[in-house]
Structures are given as C-alpha cells and as structure tokens.
Amino acid sequence: SPGPIVEQFILNFTIINLRFTTDLGTPNSAKFNSTEKIMQHYIDPLLQKSSIGPYFTGCKVIGFRSGRDRDDTGVDAVCSYKNNVSLARFDREKVYHELSAMTNGVTKLGHYSLEKNSLYVNG
C-alpha cells in the first residue's frame, strides 16, 4: 500500500497590531524573514495541538499583505500534513473551530491581536 501523502492547506488571518510595511511584503527581506519566524513560532504549536497534530508537518508563511487598515497585516501560510488511511478526511471546519478556540475566538495569537472575522482555513 502507498505511504502517507503530503497534503497542504492555506491558513489566512489578519493581525490588527502589526503595521504593514513594504519590506514586510518583500519575501526574503530581513523584516519578512524575522516576522515569518515569529508567526511560525505561534502557528505551528496550535496546529500540533489540533486534531491534525499527529500528522501535521509545519507551516510556511508565503506572504504578508496590507489589511483594510494600514495598521493591519494579513498573513498567508501554507500548512502541510501527512495524509494516510488512519486519518479521516481533512476537516477544514473542525480545524477552523479548533484554531478559533485556541486563539480566544480569533482575537489573540501570542502578543498579537487578530481581526475577529479574518481566520480562514482552506481545505
């Protein structure tokens, strides 16, 4: 039988207390790289505690974008997990609800404040 297949999903959210700057929007800039590491420090442990935790292999921030307000920064990440027969079909709604609960109703991510209606999990 085939081994586990690596599958991906997109995670998006908006931070309301991280001002977007052009260097933050420039991949591989010092600001992008340092902020990417911080985001992974917060995102990865949440997903490790979720229902996909045993299969979760990590997230990679692929971009930061300007939010509706210039003080807001949107975060886009590609997250991976190993899919195999022992894992039920990826349930994006379940993962969304778990992440929502772990971020105090989509309001906190570490010392960052989140825009309440900005969390998206795309299966």
Q: What is the pLDDT of residues 91-117, one digit of tens each?
A: 899 999 999 999 999 999 999 999 999
**Each residue of 72-100: b (16+ CB within 10 Å) or e?**
bbbbebebbbebeeeeeebeeeebbebbb
- Give the C-alpha separation, 123 to 11, whole Å: 9
- Give the C-alpha separation, 114 to 92, whole Å: 19
Q: 5-44 pLDDT, tens per residue?
A: 888 999 999 999 999 999 999 999 999 999 999 999 999 9
The architecture in CATH of the region 5-122 reads: 2-Layer Sandwich (3.30)
Give the model's pLDDT for residue 109. Answer: 96
Q: Where are the domains of the chain?
A: 5-122
